[in-house]
Structure 1
Amino acid sequence: MGNESTPNSAGGATHTPTAESNLSSRPGGAPVRAYMNEKIVPYLLEGMKTVTKEQPANPLRALGEFLIQKSNEVEGGGASGKSPE
């Protein structure tokens, strides 16, 4: 009986593919993180730096406007021509 439980415990510990597949299926797992890091985080950090430097009266609005402008530049080919305020 002791021998039966030991292989089961060792077998359960070696099933890391199950844990890895669980990461990819849960919200916030590796694919989601990769998408966020590629598509959103660089622009969000840039906007946050701008807001921190300028310290506007309405920082959320300023960040939102920055992100909308950046979205137009990135998705629209960069033809906005306006400077962030």
Structure 2
Amino acid sequence: MADEIPDSAANTPGGDSAAATPITNTQVRPGGAPARVYMNEKIVPYLLEGMKSVTKEQPANPLRVLGEFLIQKSMEVEQGATKTPE
């Protein structure tokens, strides 16, 4: 069938496997290491904690509950960072 896209072409952003440039270890990809490190340090632990809570509770409005959890966690983290040791 002419409308089917081969697997190799379907996996590339433009759908054209000939135009796809393989990414080597020396190239920096968007969303690569610096962004991943930042997310893993600053966001992922809290997001996972919130997602576990939402999964356990299964509220009718999970996005609102997750958002409120993240806002509360943000305030807790900011307060902990601004407190000076006595």
Q: TM-score, normalised by structure 2?
A: 0.62
Residue of 4, 7, 22 corresponding to 2:27: 22
Q: Percent identity?
A: 79
Across the two proteins, how many residue pairs are aligned to each other?
59
Q: Aligned-pair distance for 1:21?
A: 4.3
- State the Cα distance separating 1:22 from its structure 2 match: 1.9
Name the structure with the higher helix share: 1
Q: TM-score, normalised by structure 1?
A: 0.62
- Indicate which of 57, 71, 76 corresponds to 2:74: 71
User: After superposition, what is the alpha-carbon deviation per residue over 1:23-69, rounded to whole angstroms, capped at 9, x for unaligned?
Assistant: 2xx32110110000000000000000000000111000000000000
> Which 5+ residue runs of structure 1 have no aligned equivalent?
1-18, 79-85
Larger-Rg structure: 1
The two structures, once aligned, show a CA RMSD in angstroms of 1.8
For residues 3-82 of structure 1, what are the structure 2 equivalents within 5 Å?
19-23=24-28, 26-77=29-80
Letter in 2 for 1:48: M
